[in-house]
Copies of this chain bind each other. A is one copy, B any other.
Amino acid sequence: MRRIEDLVNIYLKDVSGNLNILGKGIKIAIILLAAKVISSLTNRIIDRALLNRKESNFFSVSKRAHTIGELLKKVVRYALYFIAVISILDIFNINTTSILATAGIGGLAIGFGAQSLVKDVITGFFIFIEDQYAVGDYIKLDSLEGTVEEMGLRVTKLRAFSGELHIIPNGKIQVVTNSTRGAMRALVVISAPYEEDADKVIDILEEVCQDIKSANDAVLEGPTVLGITDLAEDYISITIVAKTKPMSQWSVEREIRKKAKEAFNRENIEIPYRKVVIFGGNEDA
């Protein structure tokens, strides 16, 4: 042990104890080697992280995960180059403050720009591990809604009912509304004129509900007539609700609407058209 030290002192240092040229050369070689080793190490870590996830079906499009991986590797590689260069300059006693300052301002500018990229990936990661939605779910994100077609590392793709494809950066996703978790509710508001007997109208609608309950498989609970939910200007509103299988709520609503209209026609319940009382303005005529 002591001998190595002596050798170092004799061959690699000058009289004042600083490294001589040979010593500096060896130090540079070590720095470059370390940079190389760390670079290939981080490459492997990045690959494993992204491939692992891919196997568990997280990022459905392997090409894209690959792209992000390559980008990450490049960023790490250039950062290591930069550190190595600064360390070598340091060996030759060159003041690197000005380089660090200049690079720092540049780095901050790029860092701020890349900030939303980092946020996209972190949010995407939490959406995945918290299982907020999966491919095939019907979800609402702010004012957009549709079926999830792809969950990416950086963006989510929704196929809207109109056929349009919404591409949303994950970082913009805040409140997620998922319509495929548990039973949905069909809700239909039926209007009837004030002149009709409320009890009779409710009875007719309850019969309609019985009909649908027995006939429709998508209905899980109800339908039930809630009662009079609004006293509007020209009509009273009666609300019917039912619990249905996910994505069947709209067809159940359409069925309730059709059956209720037919029952009202059959039972001669009047249509609650707008009603106006007219007075003759005598004094002017």
Mark A residues whose CB is within 8 Å of B. 1-2, 4-5, 14, 16-17, 20-22, 31, 64, 67, 79, 82-83, 86-87, 90, 94-119, 121-123, 126, 129-130, 132, 140, 144, 152, 154-155, 159-169, 172, 174-179, 181-185, 187-191, 194-195, 197-198, 226-231, 233-234, 236, 243, 246, 249, 251, 254-255, 257-258, 260-262, 265, 271-285
Q: Give chain B residues whose Cβ lies under 8 Å from the Cβ of A174.
A: 168-169, 172
- Central interface residue in A102, A152, A172, A246, by most chain B CB within 10 Å: A102
A111 and B114 form a contact (CB under 8 A): no
Provide a sorted-by-A list of 15 A–B residue pairs whose CB atoms are within 8 angstroms: A1-B22, A5-B21, A96-B98, A101-B103, A109-B111, A112-B119, A113-B122, A162-B249, A194-B261, A198-B261, A230-B257, A231-B261, A275-B279, A278-B279, A282-B285
A184 and B163 form a contact (CB under 8 A): yes
Which one, B87, B229, B254, B274, contacts A94 given CB within 8 A? B87
Given A14-B5, A164-B178, A183-B163: A281 touches B275 (CB 8 Å cut-off): yes
A162 and B175 form a contact (CB under 8 A): no
B105 and A108 form a contact (CB under 8 A): yes
Q: Once the chains are docked, how many angstroms separate the CA of A113 from the CA of B179? A: 29
B106 and A108 form a contact (CB under 8 A): no
Q: Once the chains are docked, how many angstroms separate the CA of A169 from the CA of B141? A: 13
Q: Give chain B residues whose Cβ lies under 8 Å from the Cβ of A106.
A: 79
Interface SS majority for chain A = mixed
Q: Once the chains are docked, how many angstroms separate the CA of A243 from the CA of B159? A: 13
Given A227-B254, A273-B233, A279-B284: A185 touches B162 (CB 8 Å cut-off): yes
Given A5-B14, A231-B261, A278-B276: A115 touches B113 (CB 8 Å cut-off): yes
Given A95-B87, A227-B251, A274-B275: A167 touches B177 (CB 8 Å cut-off): yes
The 9 lowest CB-CB distance pairs between A and B, nearest first, are A113-B118, A86-B98, A227-B254, A163-B184, A279-B281, A163-B185, A167-B176, A273-B275, A105-B107
Q: Give chain B residues whose Cβ lies under 8 Å from the Cβ of A182.
A: 159, 163, 165
Give A115's nearest chain B residue, CB to CB: B112
Give A127's nearest chain B residue, CB to CB: B167
Least distance between A278 CB and chain B CB atoms (Å): 6
B104 and A114 form a contact (CB under 8 A): no
Which one, B177, B181, B277, contacts A276 given CB within 8 A? B277
Give A233's nearest chain B residue, CB to CB: B274
Q: Once the chains are docked, how many angstroms separate the CA of A83 from the CA of B104? A: 13
- Central interface residue in A5, A152, A194, A281, by most chain B CB within 10 Å: A281
Give A281's nearest chain B residue, CB to CB: B279
